[in-house]
Amino acid sequence: MMKRRALGKGLASLIPEVPPPAAVPAITATEGMRYIDPGAMVPNRNQPREAFDDAELQTLANSIRRDGLLQPILVRPLDGGYEIVAGERRWRASILAGLGRIPTIVQNVAEDRALELALVENLLRRDLDPIEEARAFKAMTERFGLTQDQIAQRTGRSRPSVANAVRLLRLPEDVQTLLRSGEISRGHARALLVLEDESEIRALAQRLRAESMSVRSAEQTVKPARPKVGSGEAGQDPNVRAAQERLQSRLGTQIRIRCSATGKGRIEIHFASHEELSRLFDGLMTAIL
């Protein structure tokens, strides 16, 4: 599949296979393949993953004790030591395993690239929960000025998937916690985002969890909250609703089409930040021109 191949190729090109000892060239003082004390390394300040499972780390540590660390850790020089760019989980497990030195690739990596690579590594293994992923995408925008299109290109995702991930941060904190723990799914979360009142979102999220409601049922439940055709009509015209859903999918944001019985109406496009407004404006202008 295109996404995984693109990500894998990008990371592999940065962390090449180590040639046999006879073919290893001389290593400079700052870059190259080295064996380094894990105590000289610090975690990546840009690490998108916020939690590491203790049982999984212990399992990996047991494997490292038996077979050694088979994949090098990528680090960059920082303040007389090294900051981990990719491989923090392997680094933590190596410490648990009691290794004194571990295979390490040292490269001078810019901070924005360090965040990108940390994100890519976790996406490859699907280690990030939906909120960790959303926060990482948001950080790439706020800290490094990347658009959602640029983030999609760099991570092998589609632009709508990046936009939909970031939209999850609009959920109340307690609902985000349910999503992170797996008590509700991404599909449930997207259905909840149709609602605008936080108390309604919280109440429905608890109902989804308690009743183990399917995503389809959740979508049916929130349908009454969608805009009406007119004050005297029972529901939205199916053609208008289909157009609304197509626009939402295409633009990656919440859309409202309000249409009266006479055919007059308006289209409302919701956005959560200046960056998202700029993205929507550029996309609409490109489509019109």
Cβ of 221: how many Cβ atoms within 10 Å? 17
Q: Which residues contact 246 (CB under 8 A, 6 or more apart)?
A: none
Of 34, 43, 93, 41, the residue nearest 69 (C-alpha): 93
Quick one: tokens of 109? 């990596």
Whether 133 is a known active-site residue: answer: no
Quick one: tokens of 56? 């999984």
CB-based contact 75:82 (threshold 8 Å): yes
Pairing of strands 255-259, 265-269: antiparallel
DSSP secondary structure string, 132-193?
HHHHHHHHHHHHH---HHHHHHHHT--HHHHHHHHHGGGS-HHHHHHHHHTSS-HHHHHHHT
Catalytic residue among 88, 121, 132, 133: 88
> Residues of 240-261 as b/e, b for ≥16 C-beta within 10 angstroms?
ebeebeebbeebbbbbbbbbee
Instruction: List strand residue ranges (DSSP E) for the chain, in order.
Output: 32-36, 41-42, 73-78, 81-86, 102-106, 255-259, 265-269
How far is residue 241's CA from residue 243's CA, in Å, rounded to a whole number?
Answer: 5
How far is residue 7's CA from residue 120's CA, in Å, rounded to a whole number?
Answer: 7
Q: Which residues contact 13 (CB under 8 A, 6 or more apart)?
A: none
Q: What one-letter code names the amino acid at 26? A: A
List, by residue number, the catalytic residues. 88
